[in-house]
Structure formats: structure tokens, C-alpha cells
Structure 1
Amino acid sequence: MKSRNWLKILRTKAGYTQESFSDALNMPKTTYSSYEQGHRTPSIETSKKIADALGVPWTIFFDAEVLESYGFSEDKNKQEVI
């Protein structure tokens, strides 16, 4: 399981709760929650929807380099916001 604490940070920074964000994306809260917790990886199409809403590249879900360019690490103990 990959930690996606960065996703929670970006969502809350944008002013969303899990429920309001999943509603905005037109998906069940449980589905979105599983992406955020790292239990599931969104499809490319869904990654693009989430990324557009948060103002980040969709590849952030798949590319550690993009993740690091936003000040996040796949290591949940090294999370920071730029």
C-alpha cells in the first residue's frame, strides 16, 4: 500500500472534506477514501479529474519525481508542503 498523505494535504488545502470532494468528483466517498489511503490507485481518467480539481499534474499518482517536485515524498514521514 502506498501512502498518499499528500493527497489529503492537497485536498484539505483546497478546502474540501473527503465527502465534499468526492461529491465534486461525482464518486462515492468510499472510492475516493480508498485512493487517499492508498488502498486503490485511480485510473488515468480518474487521476486526471482529481488532479484538475487540485491543480496538480495527473501523473503525480504514478511518478515519484512529480510528487517530489511538489514537496512530497512516498515516505509518509517526509511530507511537507511547498
Structure 2
Amino acid sequence: MKNQILLTLRGQKSRASVAKDLRITPQGLGLIERGERIPRPILMKRIADYYGKTVDEIFFDDK
């Protein structure tokens, strides 16, 4: 299942630029955004901090 929240948060930024900021590969970010990979907790926290959200809001909110 796609992580629509991540896609919305990324907006018009390129996957490559966000991945570079997060210190991961664009392919890895794509896997996370498509729901094909669940990141480790440390990466979840880094992503949440990057977007100014909580880990729960991005990865565990059922809305």
C-alpha cells in the first residue's frame, strides 16, 4: 500500500533531492513511498524530523 502521506509531504521536491537530504538512495525512498519497504525505526525518525511530523503521523496513522 502506498504511503500517500509521504508522497504528499514530498510534494514537488524530487525524490533524488529528498533522498540525498535523508542520506538514502532514491530507490530506497521510492520503495518506502510505495509501501514495498518498511524503514528501520532510526530512518523513520529521520524522515519524520525532515518533514516536521511524528513517526506515528507518517507511518502509523490509519486516516
TM-score by length of 1: 0.68
CA RMSD of aligned residues (A): 1.3
Residue 63 of structure 1: how far off its partner (Å): 4.0
Secondary structure class of the residue paired with 1:27: coil
The aligned amino acid for 2:31 is: S
**Distance in 2 between residues matched to 1:62 and 1:6, nearest whole Å:** 10
Q: TM-score, normalised to structure 2's length?
A: 0.86
Q: Is it true that 1:5 corresponds to 2:25 in the alignment? A: no
Task: Pick 1 or 2: higher relative contact order, CA cutoff 8 A, min separation 6.
Answer: 2
TM-aligned CA deviation for residue 16 of structure 1: 2.1
Instruction: Please tell me whether Structure 1 or Structure 2 has the larger radius of gyration of its CA atoms.
Output: 1
Alpha-carbon distance in 2 for matches of 1:16, 1:49: 17
Q: How many residues align?
A: 62
Equivalent in 16, 19, 22 of residue 19 of structure 2: 22
List runs of 5+ in structure 1 lacking aligned partners.
69-82
**Identical pairs, percent:** 29
Unaligned runs of 5+ in 2: none
Alignment match of 2:42 (pick from 45, 56, 67): 45
Counterpart of 1:42, as a letter, is P
